[in-house]
């Protein structure tokens, strides 16, 4: 099949097997060399970047659709995925022509040939926003059928994206920051073993400000979610920092609990 | 128009002017005499209770639809409304027959007469869940076109509801509790002037546990969101508690801020 036929077949699949009016978008965060990163895709035949996303099959749960899309873009399973907001402004997708965009991607048939009501097909989508925390070094960034590239961007270098995707990143980050006030973070963003400094650096990067070393240590130890390891990196023992790892069961317990810090 | 004609006209409006596959549900919390309450509706011709909700018009924002539904059930404007989760399990609405339910409500025409694909019409809905905090005494509970009753229930007396609505209440409450760890609460749930004990009682009711009086006072004062009033209830002055009210602008500022309590 040539590209046009592939795209047409894909659109027919959407028409027949996926829910109308519903989509999902993924803000996939990674952390590398002290930098927060986000995974973006670029539409074929265009310079437009946007968040990876997908639609929901009629026979799958909404959350399954999100995990499936995440797996298809990163190659990873068993990830931390969190809904943060559902976006439903009437004008989310205006000033954007799917006909034009699909033509640039290589579609040679008019959308009418799909036999859908073109005025309503893809004209209005509610999008369920998820953020994911993934280990940067383990991700295999994989474009989807409509994109040429899939790659990591530094969070403060993200360009003007399509639709409301800059707002989505901003809101996902705000939700992630709030999460820090009632749950520990880091299980998926850091390597399996890390120093207290590396964990603090991650928090500082997410929060966008420096933290007091002693207060940070106290608060993290309060969660009782870290295991200190005997092993240290190979430098003079007196100066070597301890390595830590997360106690997985305890971490997951805290993720599901109401961590009440009032009173 | 008789009841059947009214229902049919309403369903045609849904078919023509509302988004398919998308609905919304409202967990409307009130607080009265030390009890948390939730507003429920009962379907016409049935003993089934459920959460009030609605659908999204093609020409309105998702959030506007939520505010509209809230206004129609309570008579109130300018309310605190917060998305907490979007529900999208494939089997949310199975074991439930709309044909049967609508017939019990008084519909005399078969759904086929609407000219929709009955297998897909209302067979699968993603539902965007919102919770609202409202002042109990100001609400005028108003049933919708499909319900006979709309009334307050004590939160611990809520019966088995339709669909996943018990899960929705549980999750809304969990989100509300988490909110307490980074934002003050009470602006819509309490009367305009209240004592510190009344505010503490509200927190204790939401959290489901007793709080230490001095710690609570310190944490609330830390938000700098209360104004202490000179006026006191009419009992011996030495024993009269102070009255407080929320500083509205400061309260709203905190609702929009990332209230960072780490480090």
A30-74 pLDDT, tens per residue? 999 889 999 999 999 999 999 999 999 999 999 999 999 999 999
Query: What pLDDT, on a 0 to 100 scale, did the predictor assign at position A179?
Result: 84
Digit-coded pLDDT (tens) for B34-69:
899 999 999 999 999 999 999 999 999 999 999 999
| Separation CA B199–CA B220 (nearest Å) | 9
* A212 touches B at CB < 8 Å: yes
Residues of A in contact with B88 (CB under 8 A): 22, 56, 61-63, 65, 128
* B203 in contact with chain A, both atoms CB, cutoff 8 A: yes
For residue A263, which residues of chain B lie inside 8 Å, CB to CB? 203, 207, 211-212, 215-216, 219
Residue B90 has pLDDT above 70, yes or no: yes
d(CA A229, CA B15): 62
Per-residue pLDDT tens over the stretch A91-106: 998 778 888 889 999 9
Give residue A18's pLDDT: 93
Secondary structure E strands in B139-237 = 147-154, 226-229
Which fold, A3-180? Nucleoside Triphosphate Pyrophosphohydrolase (3.90.79)
Q: How confident is the model at residue A262 (pLDDT cuts 50, 70, 90)?
A: very low
Q: Which residues of A touch B206 (CB under 8 A)?
A: none
Burial of B167 (0-12, 13-18, 19+ CB in 10 A): middle
pLDDT, residue A257, reads 66
B121: Cβ contacts below 8 Å, ≥ 6 apart: B15, B20, B98, B111, B114
Q: Does A211 touch chain B (CB under 8 A)?
A: yes
Note whether B126 contacts A88, CB cutoff 8 Å: no
Q: Which residue has the tokens 């017939």?
A: B103
By Cβ distance, the residue of B22, B124, B261 closest to A126 is: B22
Task: Name the CA dihedral angle for A52, A56, A57, A63, rounded to a multiple of 10 degrees.
Answer: 100
pLDDT of residue A263: 35
Q: Is the pLDDT of residue A259 over 60?
A: no
Pairing state of beta strands B18-32 and B53-57? antiparallel
Q: What is the pLDDT of residues A183-206, one digit of tens each?
A: 788 888 888 899 999 999 999 988
Range with lowest mean pLDDT among A94-103, B5-14, B227-236 = B227-236
B219: nearest CB among A62, A174, A262: A262
Residue A135, pLDDT > 60, answer: yes
Question: What is the pLDDT averaged over residues B4-23?
Answer: 91
Q: CB B181 to CB A126 under 8 A?
A: no
pLDDT digits over A230-258, tens only?
Answer: 766 666 767 778 899 999 888 888 777 65
Q: What residue ranges of chain B are covered by domains with CATH 3.90.79.10?
A: 3-180
Closest-CA residue in chain B for A213?
A: B263
Does the distance separating the beta carbons of A126 and B62 come in below 8 Å? yes
* pTM for this prediction: 0.89
- The answer to whether the Cβ–Cβ distance between B87 and A258 falls below 8 Å is no
pLDDT of B261 > 90? The answer is no
What are the start and end residues of each CATH 1.10.10.10 domain in chain B? 196-257
Interface residue A179 vs chain B (CB under 8 A): no
A1 has a pLDDT exceeding 60: yes
Q: B260 and A181: CB-CB below 8 Å?
A: yes
Nearest CA distance, A222 vs chain B (angstrom)? 12
Contact A212 B174 (CB under 8 A): no
pLDDT in tens, B168-196: 999 999 999 888 877 788 888 888 899 99
Please tell me the distance from the alpha carbon of residue B129 to that of residue B166, in angstroms, as a whole number.
12
| Partner residue facing A83 (CB), from B61, B85, B207 | B85
Q: Is B162 helix (H, G, I), strand (E, B) or coil?
A: coil
- Interchain contact, B207 vs A259, CB within 8 Å: no
Residue B195, chain A, CB below 8 Å: the answer is no
Q: How crowded is residue A108: how many other Cβ atoms within 10 Å of its Cβ?
A: 13
Residues 4-63 of A with CB under 8 A from B: 19-22, 56, 58-63
User: Which of B60, B86, B219 best probes binding to A when mutated, by most A CB atoms within 10 angstroms?
Assistant: B86
* Rg (alpha carbons) of chain B, rounded to whole number: 21
Q: Is the pLDDT of residue B219 over 50?
A: yes
Asked if B56's CB is within 8 angstroms of A262's CB, the reply is: no
Residue of A21, A87, A128 with shortest CB distance to B19: A21
Under an 8 A CB cutoff, do B259 and A181 touch?
yes
Q: Are B263 and A212 an interchain contact pair (Cβ–Cβ within 8 Å)?
A: yes
Q: What is the 3-state secondary structure (H, E, C) of B43-79?
A: ECCCCCEECCEEEEECCCCHHHHHHHHHHHHHCCCCC
Residue B219 to residue A56, Cβ atoms within 8 A: no
Residues of chain A in contact with residue B129, where contact means CB-CB under 8 angstroms, are none
pLDDT at A182 over 80: no
Task: Give yes or no for residue A218 having a pLDDT over 50.
Answer: yes
CATH class of B196-257: mainly alpha
Selecting from A22, A85, A216 the residue whose C-beta is nearest the C-beta of B126 gives A22
CA dist B234 and B8 (Å) reads: 57
């Amino acid at each position: 099949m040539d590209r046009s036929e592939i795209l047409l077949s894909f659109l027919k699949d959407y028409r027949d097997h996926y829910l109308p009016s519903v989509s999902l978008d993924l803000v996939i965060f990674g952390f590398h060399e002290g930098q927060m990163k986000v995974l973006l895709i670029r539409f074929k035949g265009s310079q437009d970047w946007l968040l990876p996303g997908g639609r929901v099959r009629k026979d799958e749960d909404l959350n399954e659709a999100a995990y499936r899309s995440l797996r298809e873009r990163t190659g990873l399973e068993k990830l931390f995925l969190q809904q943060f907001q559902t976006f439903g402004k009437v004008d989310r997708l205006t000033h954007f022509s799917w006909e034009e965009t699909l033509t640039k991607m290589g579609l040679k048939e008019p959308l009418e040939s799909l036999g859908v009501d073109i005025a309503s097909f893809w004209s209005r989508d509610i999008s369920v926003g998820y953020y994911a925390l993934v280990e940067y070094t383990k991700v295999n960034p994989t474009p989807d059928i409509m994109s040429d590239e899939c790659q990591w961007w530094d969070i403060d270098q993200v360009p003007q994206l399509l639709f409301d995707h800059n707002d989505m990143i901003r809101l996902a980050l705000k939700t992630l920051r709030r999460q820090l006030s009632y749950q520990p973070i880091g299980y998926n963003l850091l390597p399996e073993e890390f120093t207290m400094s590396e964990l603090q650096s991650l928090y500082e990067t997410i929060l966008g400000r420096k933290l007091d070393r002693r207060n940070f240590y106290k608060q993290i130890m309060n969660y009782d979610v870290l295991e200190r390891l005997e092993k240290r990196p190979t430098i003079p023992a007196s100066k070597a920092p301890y390595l830590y790892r997360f106690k997985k069961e305890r971490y997951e317990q805290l993720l599901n609990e109401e961590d009440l810090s009032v009173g």
